[in-house]
Amino acid sequence: MSALAGIKIADFSRVLAGPYATMLLGDMGAEVIKIERPATGDDTRTWGPPFTSDGDSTYFQSVNRNKIGVTADLTTDLGRAKALEIISKCDVLVENFTIGTMEKFGLGYEELHKKFPKLIYCQISGFGTSMAAAKLPGYDLLVQGMSGLMSITGADENSPTKVGVALVDVISGLHAALGISAALVSRAKSGVGQKIEINLLSSALSAMVNQSAAFAGAGVTPKAMGNAHPSIAPYEVYQAKDQRLIIAVGNDGQFLELVKVLNLDIANGSRFESNSLRVANRLALNEILNAKFATETASYWSEVLTKVGVPAGPINSIAEGINLAAAIGLEPIVTIKDPRSGKNSKTIANPIKFSETPVSYRLGAPELGADN
């Protein structure tokens, strides 16, 4: 049996953060009912290219497997009644509308909590629920910029760069799934549901961990450093004979092994003896290391350094990263044949492995209104 078998989720969310959270819960056995606008549905249905050979958006498919698909026009009495009927049978509701929208439809937390006190209500927003926050549009790119994430991403402080995926949405989805799981455990003890609030800005600040903590704890405002690390060295990208090479030395023991392999006598009694000294003398250290790495290929250095416990490897494409996962037995891609449409879809596997309650892949992403 799956971990969340018997749990039902009314999923009013669109785009990425909410759908990612509910998909993960669906993989764990929850029955997820995705409620969309008639005719148009989730915005990401049209986001592409790329599209599959069947003409479906790979973006939409990436976060919507294992869901029942229905439509309801919440601007009509009939649509609201349909939504309320679905909610009455569910344990969890997830939504990411503009603040106040669900209240306008009579589906806000306060009203639903009175009717269904066991309901767990998860609200995902861009910046929170205050009047000032409600005026700010919650798009991942904006939050990457406004949170400070872009200021520490890029070649230098003059080149703010977004992460190559909507990372804040993904992290917010993970926080939502975690919060919902905890609320289900709490309800099992108390018998009472509750409201969970997730916002992208708080998620981004939390996810910047040591970087945001540098300001919170020491008043230091971090800046972009390209591929370098503000607190560890050598921990960045170097140029080998044929391609770039990642070196991630996290302690003095690994540094000793690194310089042994490179035949360098710089570990003891020098400006590189400790991590703090290496950070302070990063440029001089990198000049020495790049000169050595340039003498052999990246694959050569990866092999010999990995053997002695020094983290090293190439910069792969996504295709190469997926192939690596397959080569070491991780089974990164799953193929799902949807029993409703008969279509086959390929998506990235759920990364969580359970020994007793494994995840399952029962449904592909639904056609709009597939289960009306």
DSSP letter string, 94-122: EE-PSTTHHHHTT-SHHHHHHH-TT-EEE
Side-chain half-sphere CA neighbours of 145 within 13 A: 8
Average pLDDT over residues 46-52: 95
Which amino acid belongs to residue 279?
Answer: V
Collapsing DSSP to helix, strand or coil, 198 comes out as strand
pLDDT(61) > 90: yes
Q: Residue 309 corresponds to which tokens in the numbers above?
A: 């416990």
What is the pLDDT confidence band of residue 27, given thresholds at 50, 70 and 90? very high
Average pLDDT over residues 62-90: 98
- Residue 321 has a pLDDT of 96
- Residue 140 has a pLDDT of 95
Average pLDDT over residues 290-296: 96
pLDDT one-digit tens code per residue, 116-172: 999 999 999 999 999 898 888 889 999 999 999 999 999 999 999 999 999 999 999
Collapsing DSSP to helix, strand or coil, 174 comes out as helix
Q: Please state which of the ranges 131-145, 281-295, 309-323 shows the lowest mean pLDDT.
A: 131-145
Q: Please state which of the ranges 176-190, 260-274, 325-339 shows the lowest mean pLDDT.
A: 260-274
Q: Hunting for tokens 């993989």 — which residue is that?
A: 27
How far apart are alpha carbons 97 and 102 in whole angstroms?
Answer: 7
What is the pLDDT confidence band of residue 268, given thresholds at 50, 70 and 90? confident
**Mutual orientation of helices 200-207 and 209-218 as an angle, nearest 10°?**
90
pLDDT(1) > 90: no
Contact 58, 86 (CB under 8 A): no
What's the pTM value of the predicted model, to 2 decimals?
Answer: 0.93
What are the φ and ψ backbone dihedral angles of 216, each rounded to 5 degrees? -60, -40
- Residue 143 has a pLDDT of 97
pLDDT one-digit tens code per residue, 298-307: 999 999 999 9
Average pLDDT over residues 173-182: 98
What is the pLDDT confidence band of residue 49, given thresholds at 50, 70 and 90? very high
How far apart are alpha carbons 141 and 15 in whole angstroms?
Answer: 13
- Residue 129 has a pLDDT of 92
Distances (CA, A) of 118 to 131, 173, 241: 28, 22, 62
Give pairs for 296-301: CB < 8 Å, separation 24+. 296/240, 296/241, 297/240, 297/241, 297/242, 297/243, 298/240, 298/241, 298/242, 298/243, 298/244, 298/245, 300/240, 301/240, 301/245
**Mutual orientation of helices 252-261 and 298-307 as an angle, nearest 10°?**
130
According to DSSP, the residues that pair with 235 across neighbouring strands are: 248
Q: What is the average pLDDT score of the chain?
A: 96
What is the pLDDT confidence band of residue 89, given thresholds at 50, 70 and 90? very high
Spell out the domains of the chain, with CATH numbers in brackets: 8-207+330-348 (3.40.50.10540), 235-239+244-314 (3.30.1540.10)
What is the pLDDT confidence band of residue 60, given thresholds at 50, 70 and 90? very high
169 tagged catalytic: yes
pLDDT one-digit tens code per residue, 197-216: 999 999 999 999 999 999 99
- Residue 347 has a pLDDT of 95
Q: Please state which of the ranges 5-9, 133-137, 243-247 shows the lowest mean pLDDT.
A: 133-137
According to DSSP, the residues that pair with 189 across neighbouring strands are: none
Which residues are CB-contacts of 219 (< 8 A; sequence separation ≥ 6)?
none
- Residue 171 has a pLDDT of 98
- Residue 276 has a pLDDT of 95
- Residue 136 has a pLDDT of 87
The catalytic position among 169, 242, 265, 371 is: 169
